[in-house]
Amino acid sequence: MPQSAVGQTLCEGMGAVEKAGWQFAHCGAEAQAMGFNSINIDTMFWSVSLGLLFIWVFRKAAKMATADVPSGLQNFVEWVCEFIDTSVRGSFTGKNDLVAPMALTIFIWVFLMNFMDLIPVDWLPALAGWVGHTFFGADPHHVFFKVVPSTDPNATFGMSFAVFGLMLFYSIKMKGVGGFTAELTMHPFSSKNPILQYLIFVPINFVLEFVSLLAKPLSLSLRLYGNMYAGEMIFILIALLFGMASSGTIGGWLGAGAGGLMQLGWAIFHILIITLQAFIFMTLAIVYMDMAHQVDEAH
């Protein structure tokens, strides 16, 4: 993580963060002191790795594509592409060759990031602790490892801001600066009286439309983050029940058994959640792009 200013925080068992330049935070206080310039290495690693996995699998399927009997991978990729194509045709009425690839990337990438939540919460952190202890001499009991990028609001906000930026770009490109401005100031209230329109209705319309505009990336990011973070917390709470077995009592073993059933049930239900959240994120992105291409709405 980058540290651009001299931090004044003190971590337990550590010294104060006093050096400028690139360095790793050793506790939450140091990470907070880094502020906006901090980068979550775990989120970046898993999001980029999953994105490369998506590209590699689909590229492999494209290179293996044949008009003869298709392989299982080709069938799967074709099914996904047909599903995305149907979704775009149903929600996007304009003409833009970018929308379908964008929708495909969003759906698969978000799904893969969400899918990491189905991996038991202690497997990858335990592996990271072993690697850190073996190769870097770190304490394996104090290794923090976030493996679900969509539970990091920085990742969800980054994706939503990218969609929001495309929406603004195409809104201005398709409607022009004047048309986009009119869309923010001339609706929903209007009057033929110019004094009433420009002195009263234009400010009111701008406030209403501007709030509605800003709500799009906020709702897009917080919906995904909130659902995935809550799902991860439920997995962690269920996993705590397994610790009851260490007591050696009948109640402890019953609690661990109940935790196993609950974890299986929640994992099955969570498959629906991670898919649904990826679909919602993709669908809203398509709808926002469609709104950006609706020229008649600006006049």
Stretch among 107-111, 112-116, 259-263, 269-273 having the lowest mean pLDDT: 259-263
pLDDT of residue 5: 38
Whether residue 8 has pLDDT greater than 50: no
CA-CA distance, 42 to 93, in Å (whole number)? 38
Residues taking part in catalysis = 219, 223, 227
First to last CA, the chain: 47
The number of angstroms, rounded, from the C-alpha of 218 to the middle of its chain's C-alpha atoms is 12
Whether residue 54 has pLDDT greater than 90: yes
pLDDT-above-70 percentage for the chain:
82
Q: What is the per-residue pLDDT across 186-243, written as a single tens digit (0 to 9) for each?
A: 888 888 888 888 899 999 999 999 999 999 999 999 999 999 999 888 888 887 777 6
Whether residue 48 has pLDDT greater than 60: yes
26 near 13, Cβ under 8 Å?
A: no
pLDDT-above-90 percentage for the chain:
52
